[in-house]
Amino acid sequence: MDRTMTSSADTTTEPALIALDWGTSSLRGFLMDGGARVLAERATAHGIQNLPQPGPAGFDAALAALCGDWLDAHPGLPVVAGGMVGSAQGWVEAPYVATPADATTLADRAARVETASGRPILIAPGVLHDPAGAPPDVMRGEEIQIAGALAENADWARNACIAMPGTHSKWVRVSDGRIAAFSSYMTGELFAVLKTHSLLGRLMPADREASPEDEAAAFAVGIRAAQSAGPGDLPHQLFATRTLGLTGRMPAEALAHYLSGLLIGHELRSGLALLAEMPAGTPLLLIGAPALCSRYGRGLAAFGVTPSAQLGNTAPRGLFQFATAAGLLPIGTAANTMSAP
Amino acid sequence: MDRTMTSSADTTTEPALIALDWGTSSLRGFLMDGGARVLAERATAHGIQNLPQPGPAGFDAALAALCGDWLDAHPGLPVVAGGMVGSAQGWVEAPYVATPADATTLADRAARVETASGRPILIAPGVLHDPAGAPPDVMRGEEIQIAGALAENADWARNACIAMPGTHSKWVRVSDGRIAAFSSYMTGELFAVLKTHSLLGRLMPADREASPEDEAAAFAVGIRAAQSAGPGDLPHQLFATRTLGLTGRMPAEALAHYLSGLLIGHELRSGLALLAEMPAGTPLLLIGAPALCSRYGRGLAAFGVTPSAQLGNTAPRGLFQFATAAGLLPIGTAANTMSAP
């Protein structure tokens, strides 16, 4: 799954940074210029839980396989990384920094590891949110994407709510350019675990897809159920995934879409309550995989909410911000010009 | 796991019924007299998903292994069964009857199967609740336990709320002697699936138990989280099982008890909302395994609610009611005298 692309027609631009988005199941590398443009991008499945060999050598081997040629061709280029590579199970641990946090906070508390060749890599920490009277929450990787998103629009940096759908979705309150607070939702993992390991998955056929109409209808039924839910109702509403199938009220191949709508609907219900506590007019941004963001967009529409923007992969730009804040890039780069009005 | 016991000192009583509580993972047999007393009780692990051999012969073999001697010694005794044995995956399907339902409704729609020896068994159907504007719900096995509970107290039969903790907990509204409505909650299955298959279980040690103090404290934290939850908050609150462990706020061996408190708390929150819609003074009954009922009792106490009664296994009495309603027992039995004031 190696792929290389040139994202800009301006191939004369000089490389200025090698940025790594290193998660649990994948490793993405970006060769970037001094204007935060991605010159080339590559990905492998060598996430930290899928390294080519165990132990620290596995990280070195994964890195060499992904972009050994970049490292060789540009021996002076700084290398930065974000994501699970900085967790306790990663290459080196970069402990969580507390909210409020921004790219500067991340850079101040970054961890450093040397590759086998002696080349240093600066690894970003995750973020801990520890509100009074509630359990703490954590993110690792999303803080980089957020830094990238905020670099794109000074208005968002001042005040925004960022929804990041995924295995562990995040709803993030941004204020004064920093991550002020956030909540994680186990939506994606709940869906996968219930579909694969619970009674609810038994009625879902593995070999048939729902028609677009059935899919949309089932998803909408799930969203509506979430909209009508009282506190505590989810464990009951989940069971309907079974009874709707058992009684033939919903086609078997559409049941997973009811489950998806129900779980996303509950996340939206809770997340939008957080948004409602923010200043009127606070923009809502969606960051994530396009197909999933589209699904969230349909759910949000049922709540009468339209996101201000839907962003794709903002990680390279965030890693660029991180590298800049760490002083690894010369003055005059895109990041520094960002703060100009 | 064969066990036989004599539950009454009156060993001279004549057997009048063989009653089978045949679920997914276990088969229980009761030899009962005409006064609804259990003379002997046996159990094996031959639930319908664990038969000694596949196909219909497996049901015959399981029955013979459990109580072939009873069947031989009492060739004229009626045999009844309830539970998953009547499902589509059971010995013979006894389709669901609709609410409102009682023992008579169950008897009217019972299915009949003949054993290899020609001995007939009457199998109780499950119950379907199909409210307007909401997904349908189903039970199979609980309706028998409810019939048994209602036979114990005429006040309960008139009006009661019955909470039945378990893999798929039920909250049941009883009115005028019948099951009027009910809701299932996936509480037990959610706990098991999340503990075994999700990220939340990774921090839970398999080889250490929490101290009673840590267990009680963690369970209480989970209950309190549920009490403070807004609609849709559960997928977020679940994630705290991880963060409380990750940050050392809660001992690893107590995390499962937080998860248990959180899930039970959400069920109680929703179930008590159903109770609140019932007439003032409606008794709340708990039916289930004593350890689980005790856990629910602790949860209910946090909500300021005390159950009117906690019942153990009411299935044999319910099967007796079912057999009586089906005309399999002579007039003058306990069931018939029940209706006398």
Cβ atoms of A66 and A85 within 8 Å: the answer is no
Cβ atoms of A91 and A113 within 8 Å: the answer is yes
% of chain A residues with pLDDT over 70:
93
More confident call, B226 vs B133: B226
Mean pLDDT to the nearest integer, B112-133: 96
For the cut 50, the answer to whether the pLDDT of residue A338 exceeds it is: no
Residue from A45, A51, A39 nearest A4 by CA: A39
Question: What is the CB-side half-sphere exposure of residue B196 using CA atoms within 13 A?
Answer: 11
**Contact call for B190 and A240, based on CB within 8 A:** no
So what's the pLDDT on residue B232? 97
- Spatial neighbors of B48 by CB under 8 A, at least 6 apart, are B22, B23, B24, B59, B84, B85, B87, B89, B90, B91
For the cut 90, the answer to whether the pLDDT of residue A255 exceeds it is: yes
So what's the pLDDT on residue B4? 43
Residue B25: alpha-carbon gap to chain centroid: 13
So what's the pLDDT on residue A64? 96
Which residues from chain B sit within 8 angstroms of residue A197, using beta carbons? 193, 196-197
Cis peptide before B100 (omega within 30 of 0): yes
Beta strands in B97-156 (DSSP E): 97-98, 111-114, 120-123, 127-129, 137-139
For the cut 60, the answer to whether the pLDDT of residue B182 exceeds it is: yes
More confident call, A295 vs B341: A295
pLDDT one-digit tens code per residue, A84-126: 999 999 999 999 999 999 999 999 999 999 999 899 999 999 9
**Contact call for A247 and B186, based on CB within 8 A:** no
**Chain A nearest-CA residue for B138:** A243
Mean pLDDT to the nearest integer, B254-270: 98
Token representation of residue A58: 């596995």
**Contact call for A235 and B269, based on CB within 8 A:** no
Which residues from chain B sit within 8 angstroms of residue A168, using beta carbons? 199, 239
For the cut 70, the answer to whether the pLDDT of residue B6 exceeds it is: no
Q: At what angle do helices B234-246 and B255-276 cross, to 10 degrees?
A: 160
**Contact call for A190 and B246, based on CB within 8 A:** no
User: Which architecture does CATH list for A187-311?
Assistant: 2-Layer Sandwich (3.30)
Mean pLDDT, chain B, rounded, equals: 93
Token representation of residue B209: 């138990």
For the cut 50, the answer to whether the pLDDT of residue B283 exceeds it is: yes
Cβ atoms of B61 and B176 within 8 Å: the answer is no
So what's the pLDDT on residue A332? 55
For the cut 60, the answer to whether the pLDDT of residue B141 exceeds it is: yes
Mean pLDDT to the nearest integer, B86-103: 97
So what's the pLDDT on residue B118? 92
Domain borders along chain A are: 15-156+318-338, 187-311
Mean pLDDT, chain A, rounded, equals: 93
* CATH 3.50.50.60 describes domain B15-183+315-326: no
What residue has token string 């506190």? A231
Q: Give the torsion through C-alpha atoms of B281, B287, B289, B290, to 10 deg.
A: 30
Sign of CA dihedral A291, A292, A297, A303: positive
**Chain B nearest-CA residue for A186:** B235
Q: Identify the CATH number of the domain defined by range B185-311.
A: 3.30.420.310
Which residue type sits at A118? G
First to last CA, chain B: 41
Q: Where are the alpha helices (DSSP H) in A19-87?
A: 56-73
What are phi and psi for residue A211, nearest 5 degrees? -65, 155
**Cα B164 from Cα B284, distance rounded (Å):** 11
Of B189, B234, B243, the CB nearest to A137: B243
**Cα A198 from Cα A14, distance rounded (Å):** 52
**Contact call for B232 and A229, based on CB within 8 A:** yes
Beta strands in chain A (DSSP E): 15-22, 27-33, 38-44, 79-82, 97-98, 111-114, 120-123, 127-129, 137-139, 159-164, 169-175, 178-185, 284-287, 309-311
Mean pLDDT to the nearest integer, A116-141: 96
More confident call, B335 vs B178: B178
**Chain B nearest-CA residue for A95:** B247
**Cα B322 from Cα B320, distance rounded (Å):** 5
More confident call, A206 vs B31: B31
ipTM: 0.91
Which residues from chain A sit within 8 angstroms of residue B184, using beta carbons? 236, 239, 243
Cβ atoms of B62 and B85 within 8 Å: the answer is no
Confidence of residue A11 (pLDDT cuts 50, 70, 90): low
What residues form DSSP beta bridges with B284?
Answer: B161
Residues B306-321: b if buried by 16+ CB within 10 A, e if exposed: ebeebbebbbbbbbbb
* CATH 3.30.420.300 describes domain A15-156+318-338: yes
pLDDT one-digit tens code per residue, A326-337: 999 975 555 444
Mean pLDDT to the nearest integer, A320-329: 97
**Chain A nearest-CA residue for B183:** A236
Which residues from chain A sit within 8 angstroms of residue B268, using beta carbons? 232
Which residues from chain A sit within 8 angstroms of residue B87, using beta carbons? none
- Spatial neighbors of A310 by CB under 8 A, at least 6 apart, are A285, A286, A287, A290, A293, A297
Q: Do domains A15-156+318-338 and A187-311 have the same CATH topology?
A: yes
What residues form DSSP beta bridges with B81?
Answer: B20, B123
So what's the pLDDT on residue B330? 79
Which residues from chain B sit within 8 angstroms of residue A240, using beta carbons? 135-137
Residue from A231, A308, A242 nearest B231 by CA: A231
The DSSP secondary structure of B292-313, one letter per residue, reads: HHHHHHHHHHHTT---SEEE--
Give the number of beta-carbon pairs within 8 Å between A and B: 156
So what's the pLDDT on residue A3? 41
**Cα B266 from Cα B283, distance rounded (Å):** 21
**Contact call for A194 and B193, based on CB within 8 A:** yes
Pairing of strands B127-129, B137-139: antiparallel
So what's the pLDDT on residue B9? 45
pLDDT one-digit tens code per residue, B286-334: 999 999 999 999 999 999 999 999 999 999 999 999 999 999 997 655 5
Token representation of residue B54: 């596949």
Of B183, B239, B246, the CB nearest to A236: B183
Of B193, B239, B269, the CB nearest to A137: B239
**Chain B nearest-CA residue for A171:** B236
Residue from B83, B52, B41 nearest B319 by CA: B83
Of A137, A168, A239, the CB nearest to B184: A239
Residue from B194, B207, B289, B278 nearest B242 by CA: B194
Token representation of residue A130: 């520890």
Write out the H or E segment, with its range, that includes residue B164: strand B159-164
Nearest 5°: the CA angle A41, A42, A43 is 135
So what's the pLDDT on residue A236? 98
So what's the pLDDT on residue A13? 82
**Chain A nearest-CA residue for B265:** A232
Q: Give the torsion through C-alpha atoms of B141, B144, B145, B148, to 10 deg.
A: -170
**Contact call for B236 and A186, based on CB within 8 A:** yes
So what's the pLDDT on residue B7? 44
So what's the pLDDT on residue A5? 44
For the cut 60, the answer to whether the pLDDT of residue B150 exceeds it is: yes
**Chain A nearest-CA residue for B269:** A232
So what's the pLDDT on residue A330? 79
Mean pLDDT to the nearest integer, B170-177: 97
Nearest 5°: the CA angle B163, B166, B171 is 25
Distance from CA of A193 to the nearest CA of B (A): 7
